[in-house]
Chains A and B, each alone.
Chain A
Amino acid sequence: MIEYFLNLAIGKKLQAVNLLIVGLITLLITVNIGFYMFGSLLEGYEKKASTLSRVLTENLDSALLFDDVKSAQEVIDSLRSVPDVMQATIYNKSGLMFASYARPNITIDLPTKYESSVFDLKPRLGQPLLGFHMPILSATPGEQIGTITMHLDLSDAYTDLYKQMGFLLLGGIIILIVVSTLLTKLQEIITQPLLNLTEVMRKVTNEGDLSARAIITSKDEIGEMAGVFNQMVEKLSIRENSLQVELNERRHIEEKLSEIAHFDPITNLPNRHSFDNQITRVLLNFKYDQEKFALMYIDLDNFKYVNDTFGHHLGDLLLSRIAERMRKSLRQGDFVARLGGDEFVIIMSHFSDNSQIKEVAEKILTALKAPFTLEGREVFIGASIGISICPTNGKDSETLKRQADSAMYLAKNLGKNNYQFYKDEMSHTQQNRINIETALRRSLEHNEIVVHYQPIVELTSEKIIGFEALARWIREDGTAIRPDVFIPLAEEIGLIVDIGNFILNTAATQTAEWVNRFGLSFISVNFSSRQFKQNDIASEILVALDKARLNPENFEMEMTESILMENSMDSLRLLESLIAKGMGISIDDFGTGYSSLSYITSFPISKIKIDQSFVFKLPDDKNALAVVTAIIGLANSLSLKVVAEGIETKEQLDCLMQLGCKYGQGYLFGKPMPAIDATKLLVSRNVGAS
């Protein structure tokens, strides 16, 4: 019952409560009125009995006084005309029954001697009789001469009462119906806003329609609730919107990421990831349809130079142009991807024989050979292409990739700008390179890297004034790896920084000893471009010199022209404090590069070294002679020291001395040698000479 009530709608609840209250009130009023009516009815009956008795008494006193029963009987028999009277009995002064009247067909057992209790029937609801008794007084004051008693029949009264109660109840029911109807209408006024609000809430919840708003019709609690609800939905809506925006942004980013995941942003070509997918696809094609395909690895020649020289911006621009040309060189259905750096790959299907592959390779080489104009500069570039073919060379992606790579390296070694098909013997070369790389990584910890010193002499006296420190890799088995093999490799894999530091420290320590013992003037140490890119190169040198207790005046940095060109003046300025302390800057391989006057004058260079390719051609080659003459003249006019590199013969030495070159180095004076040999040479040459 209570649960049933709790589950009712608020409107119904209100209605039920109101009906209950109205019903109770109506019932109470009805009962109250009923009792009142009963009371007044009884009173009426009592009054009636009293009046009747009084009237009768008027005529009875004489009869009683004169003991006239007959007369008394006549008097009370007159009650026949009063139907309510059940009986009336007169008792005389002694309390004995004197005369009695009873309605026909009614027998009431009455005592012959008067007993008031019989006639003291209290008027109670449901009791059918009303008892009444009254003394009969004589004319003599205070003298009771008898008692009149009476029983009145209340059944008519009850009938009347019930009838009236019935009307009252009927009236109550009508009131209930009217009130109920009114309440239903009123309750609708209260609950309709609630229902509206619920409808809006349902709309928001089920349909997610956050634009829905509740209409505020009143300023009561419901109105307030609707207001708060609207605020809530507003906030939700704002939140939802911002979520949507965030979601869109995220989707956008995901798309971008997917694009990045599959495309190279610089060239807009598919990337390595796409390439892996593509090769899986063509391998499947091969597996099911025997569809053969070719893998073409393309490595750009000279790109690193362009990138290092003109900066990444131009490098990227160049890459996109290259990609464009490549795409144009391909046939419909060929796949090209950028693997990273300056490496590209092409997958070719649908060919009958190798000539079609060759055609494409040549087309690419031709396309790339043409100069690129980048922001007003002309840039030349080449490519080396390695090709492997499925199923001729291999039937899995790893093999095919390795084979194409090997063929590409061969093409590079064969002078660049050519293409090579994979041949079985190439696998050896490739493996070799991998072995060297692995060994080089371990070389430092295995103490396989050593410093060799090549003397630099004063040409006239042939006295050793300094050494150039050079890195040598002597493997544990005693085989020496040529610097032109391992230095580029070390640069490529980043090991050059560690090797450079090792050379710097070792050479500084060694030189400090020589300076003390032999009064050696300087040590010249080579720095690569990669080392230069470290911001702390100056502090590293300083630390090394401090540690070795070597004066900066006895230290010289040797670098190529391109290093000076590539690096900003800012990074070079870091060196200025060292230069101020006396450190020298020496330009290696002078004459082969830009040989630009501007950087020579704008930077505090102390020495230039004439490239051995010129020295080698002396004294007969006129061009070489002219270049060397010009370099020496330039150096003199700028007060720079000049060192000739690669002097091997006496003729070269004489020629150089004639041209005014003061210093030189080369096999004529000594090959690069271990420190112990250099010490011996210093003992024999410098000590003896001085």
Chain B
Amino acid sequence: MRFSACFVLLLGCFASQLANAKDDIVANKNAIEAAFLYNFALFTDWPANIGNEFKICVMGSNDILTALEQIKSKQLKERPISLLNISSASQANTCQMLFIGRSEHPYMDTIAKQVGNEPVLTVSEENGYDPNNVIISLVMQNNRIAFNINNSSAREKSLVISSKLLKLALQVY
């Protein structure tokens, strides 16, 4: 564990230095996904009534939480970032973003129901397939992390995803 933490720390350092690096994807996967989360937020517009903090909520992935610490000092939408580790999607109502770890994927439909039409950008961890009921799903392609976007779902939740982001997506529904 100690070793692992130390590894992660090492990885975090690495990731912060090479946020966009295309090499050594496996080692940096969490860091890259954390950076992706941040970047997604940059290209997405939320309805006006965001609270005082930009809340990024994480379900089922401590690694991501750790990786996100690296961007916590930044701001999004002119607000400080706060990270929330939640266990139930019902807690996700006030979150602007919800990262759904691989372990939670079987409960995806429930999570989707719980989030409902709240303006929460849901992002699923890469899992070798494209899960349903999520707005952005991370996928692995040619050893690079890519993503698909369910834009109609995003619109239902009053989220506007920038065309630039849409352009980068492998698939847009």
Interface residues of B in 23-66 (CB under 8 A from A): 36, 39, 42-43
Q: How far is the CA of A92 from the CA of B19 in the complex (A)?
A: 11
Could you tell me the distance in whole angstroms from the C-beta of B30 to the nearest C-beta in chain A?
15
Say if the beta carbon of B13 comes within 8 Å of chain A: no
B74 nearest in chain A by CB position: A140
- Given A140-B42, A140-B75, A61:B164 Cβ within 8 A: yes
Q: How far is the CA of A83 from the CA of B73 in the complex (A)?
A: 44
Chain B positions 134 through 173: 1 when the CB is less than 8 Å from some CB of chain A, otherwise 0: 0000000000100000000000000000101101100000
A143 nearest in chain B by CB position: B74
In the complex, are the beta carbons of A94 and B167 less than 8 A apart? no
Q: How far is the CA of A4 from the CA of B39 in the complex (A)?
A: 82
Q: How far is the CA of A252 from the CA of B168 in the complex (A)?
A: 132
Question: Which of these binds chain B: A35-43, A65-73, A373-381, A571-579?
Answer: A65-73
In the complex, are the beta carbons of A66 and B75 less than 8 A apart? no
A145 nearest in chain B by CB position: B20
Say if the beta carbon of A414 comes within 8 Å of chain B: no
> How many A residues touch B, CB cutoff 8 Å?
18
Could you tell me the distance in whole angstroms from the C-beta of A146 to the nearest C-beta in chain B?
9
Residues in B whose Cβ lies below 8 Å from that of A58: 164
Interface residues of A in 27-71 (CB under 8 A from B): 58-59, 61-69, 71
Say if the beta carbon of B5 comes within 8 Å of chain A: no
Could you tell me the distance in whole angstroms from the C-beta of A512 to the nearest C-beta in chain B?
171
- Given A62-B164, A66-B36, A71-B168, A93:B19 Cβ within 8 A: yes
- Given A62-B164, A140-B74, A94:B42 Cβ within 8 A: no
- Given A140-B42, A140-B74, A62:B19 Cβ within 8 A: no
Interface residues of B in 45-101 (CB under 8 A from A): 74-75
In the complex, are the beta carbons of B167 and A62 less than 8 A apart? yes
In the complex, are the beta carbons of B162 and A62 less than 8 A apart? yes
Kindly identify which residue among A63, A71, A92, A139 contacts B42, using a CB–CB cutoff of 8 Å: A139
In the complex, are the beta carbons of A64 and B20 less than 8 A apart? yes
Kindly identify which residue among B20, B39, B74, B167 contacts A92, using a CB–CB cutoff of 8 Å: B20
- In this complex, which of B162, B164, B167 has the most chain A Cβ atoms within 10 angstroms of its Cβ? B164
In the complex, are the beta carbons of B42 and A66 less than 8 A apart? no
- In this complex, which of B18, B144, B162, B167 has the most chain A Cβ atoms within 10 angstroms of its Cβ? B167
Say if the beta carbon of B21 comes within 8 Å of chain A: yes
In the complex, are the beta carbons of B20 and A67 less than 8 A apart? yes
Say if the beta carbon of B102 comes within 8 Å of chain A: no
Could you tell me the distance in whole angstroms from the C-beta of A72 to the nearest C-beta in chain B?
10
Say if the beta carbon of B22 comes within 8 Å of chain A: yes
Residues in B whose Cβ lies below 8 Å from that of A138: 42
Residues in A whose Cβ lies below 8 Å from that of B18: 94
Could you tell me the distance in whole angstroms from the C-beta of B132 to the nearest C-beta in chain A?
23
18 A-B pairs within 8 Å (CB atoms) are namely: A58-B164, A62-B39, A62-B165, A62-B168, A64-B20, A65-B39, A65-B42, A66-B20, A66-B36, A66-B39, A67-B21, A67-B22, A92-B20, A93-B19, A93-B20, A139-B42, A139-B43, A140-B75
